[in-house]
Structure 1
Amino acid sequence: MEFRHLGRSGLLVSEIAYGNWITHGSQVEEEAALACVRAALDCGITTFDTADVYAGTRAEEVLGRALRSSVRTELEIFTKVFWRTGKGPNGSGLSRKHILESIDGSLRRLGTDYVDLYQAHRFDHHTPLDETMEAFADVVRQGKALYIGVSEWTAEQIRAAAPLARDLRIRLVSNQPQYSILWRVIEAEVVPASQELGLGQIVWSPLAQGVLTGKYRAGEQPPAGSRATDDKSGAGFIARWLGDDVLTTVARLKPLADEAGLTMAQLAVAWVLQNPNVSAAIIGASRPEQVRDNVKASGVRLDDGLLKAIDEIVDPIVTRDPSLTSSPAKRP
């Protein structure tokens, strides 16, 4: 496993991180989840990402139990706040009340005194940004988080938050966007702003919900037990990638992966890691062997010819529109 700095900070993270968005507490039983975390640890992953809203808060609990026997100082644990976790009018968003109450809930579920990174899961259009950043500053000063990050924020929103963080003397070090061979909406605006301001990307869905593994084939039903067949595990998210045009195009990547000595999944993870602004790629898993396969992308360098060949194949189906980075207009 290789390690990278998280943005322009001194924090090193494993360039492949383990996330449990739609697996722990929902798609797979706890014993399987624990086996996947053990595999991640055995493979050298030290960075683990979750959120309070995943599986209705159960994902944090499962991850906390899975990491309980590990040495806390040898891990980087990330979580997030924004989506609804409470029933009352302040049960979501980035108000001071919700942030300060949510960090305590996350720490309790994770079984730790602090998280290494606390992230704003989306931008809150209904809370003054200075209130949000002041609350995050208090979380840091209380020792409950070491660094602050955001997720799926636009370049404009990142540019507005960065000077506030600087004035408050806290480290805004990361953004967590969707990014893959097929989904490149951050490249035009978010990446340049982040490079300028010292944020690194912690990218999610580098496998495009599993489509880039090649297991879904045009004209065929999705494999039994796959994400596309399970409403609890994100079938709605993967639907956009299941058109025959996308699947036919993705299948054309396999000879390139074979020539490079990589699986399709390894090629996809390695591709996002070629971007110098990417600090880590988040993988998920329902089986330990998926973890062991994906981590082999660490340290892989794709040559310019291969990158060009990938672009030539997928260009007609790549999504690049920066406006697709957005947060809900109404508080959830």
Structure 2
Amino acid sequence: MPGMQRRFLRGLDAEVSLLGAGCWTVGGPATNRGVPIGWDHVDPEQAYDGLVRARELGVTLFDTADVYGCVQSERLLGRLLRETGRTGLVISSKVGYFAGTARHPYAPDQMRRQFATTLDNLGTDHLDIYFLHSSDFGENDQYLAGAVEVMGELREQGLIRAIGTRGPHAFAEQWATGDDARAATTTRWSHLFDQIRPNVVTVRYNLLSPLYTSRETDIFAFARRHLVGVLIKQALGQGLLLRDPASPPPVFSPADHRCRDPRFQPTVLAALDRMLAALRDWFGTDPTELARIALRYVLQHAPDAAVLAGFRDANQITTTLTCLGNPLGQDEIDQIIELFHPRTDGNTDERTPARAVHRD
């Protein structure tokens, strides 16, 4: 599509579409070892139409995983590659949650089998990015070294171009010096980063993500310093940020991951709905405008990252890909921050990295 913007993705050293297609949602409902990992109400043909529409609208970045729909997502994307070609596309997938009959998902032979299966599902001979999807490397990280070795082999053999890993939902490098739970989480992730040395990380970031002070190094500044690319997921809060606050709490099947997600529980939704109602009072109820606000907030905070957008059909992906319009003004960002992150101490001096406006 003329006008689809691109961004240079560090680590991969390539341009990708500003918005990419996140293919978790198109895998449909699924469980893995009894744990719900999927999405309800997904029709495979409508999901495929969404993939086609994404490509028509200029998306060049498609992200999936072996466990999304227990291979259904990879196979749908593989159908797109067979029918429309792979030229010019950046394809990523992941490993780390599906063990099959192996002792652990990161057992080296299991990783190699999963990688071969992923290539077969996608109908391609290489991946642009291959992610270590889980941070569970077994007791005492016994599978960590082997997993890093396999990823290195795949890159050396030209089967992948970049190694990826998932980043923390909340992170400031300085937190590691504390003695609380977030210090332990920060130290743990920093250790994994040093061992894996990824080229690209995926992070969750949206209107609800915490703010950081000017003295804190958030994940985006951290990645920039280490020349690592960033892919942002859940910019729309898995659809929560487009929710009509007048609608009843949703009900999910046992195969939908949201049935266990605290963010989708009635008491949490009630608090979110109050903020969403105020957001609609300020900006209107048009879903396209609400999507613009959510996406622009993220893109303007992270001017060198790309966003992965989930979808279930062509209409959803079309709305997401065509909603961006003009960047948010500083007054709009101030309103959003005041709504989602109100100060309780009266101090507004420490709200600057998230407030910075970067215009495309």
Range into which the TM-score falls when normalised by the shorter chain? 0.7 to 0.9
CA RMSD in angstroms, aligned pairs only = 2.9
> 1:197 is matched with which residue?
226
Alignment counterpart, residue 19 of structure 1, candidates 14, 18, 22: 22
Task: Provide closer, same or farther for how the CA distance between residues 16 and 9 of structure 1 changes in structure 2, counting only shifts above 3 A.
Answer: same
Deviation at 1:265?
A: 1.6
> 1:234 is matched with which residue?
257
> 2:278 is matched with which residue?
252
Correspondence 1:241-320 to 2 at 5 A: 242-258=268-284, 263-276=289-302, 279-298=305-324, 300-316=326-342
CA distance in 2, matches of 1:231, 1:39: 30
Q: Deviations over 1:184-210 (max 9, x none)?
A: 489854333212111222111111121
Residue identity opposite 2:208 in structure 1 = L
Deviation at 1:7?
A: 2.4
> 2:239 is matched with which residue?
210
Higher mean C-alpha deviation, range 180-189 or range 203-212: 180-189
Secondary structure of 1:182's counterpart equals: coil
Give yes or no for contact 1:175–1:202 (8 Å, CA) kept in 2.
Answer: yes
> 1:123 is matched with which residue?
135
Deviation at 1:40?
A: 0.6
CA distance in 2, matches of 1:20, 1:271: 22
Residue identity opposite 2:101 in structure 1 = K
How many residue pairs get aligned? The number is: 304
> 1:98 is matched with which residue?
110
Alignment counterpart, residue 144 of structure 1, candidates 150, 159, 175: 159
Residue identity opposite 1:152 in structure 2 = G
Give yes or no for contact 2:167–2:202 (8 Å, CA) kept in 1.
Answer: yes
Task: Provide closer, same or farther for how the CA distance between residues 48 and 258 of structure 1 changes in structure 2, counting only shifts above 3 A.
Answer: same
Correspondence 1:61-72 to 2 at 5 A: 61-72=75-86
Task: Provide closer, same or farther for how the CA distance between residues 98 and 184 of structure 1 changes in structure 2, counting only shifts above 3 A.
Answer: farther
Alignment counterpart, residue 178 of structure 1, candidates 204, 208, 212: 204
Secondary structure of 2:312's counterpart equals: coil
CA distance in 2, matches of 1:259, 1:59: 32
CA distance in 1, matches of 2:253, 2:6: 34
CA distance in 2, matches of 1:301, 1:260: 17
Residue identity opposite 2:258 in structure 1 = A
Give yes or no for contact 1:250–1:314 (8 Å, CA) kept in 2.
Answer: no
Higher mean C-alpha deviation, range 179-188 or range 98-107: 179-188
Q: Deviations over 1:280-319 (max 9, x none)?
A: 11111122111111112457422222111100001159xx
CA distance in 2, matches of 1:22, 1:260: 23
Give yes or no for contact 1:203–1:278 (8 Å, CA) kept in 2.
Answer: no
Higher mean C-alpha deviation, range 302-311 or range 1-10: 1-10
Which consecutive unaligned segments of at least 5 residues does structure 2 have?
30-39, 169-184, 344-360
> 1:221 is matched with which residue?
248
CA distance in 2, matches of 1:80, 1:184: 27
Task: Provide closer, same or farther for how the CA distance between residues 15 and 119 of structure 1 changes in structure 2, counting only shifts above 3 A.
Answer: same
Kindly report structure 1 stretches of 4+ aligned residues shifted beyond 6 Å.
Answer: none
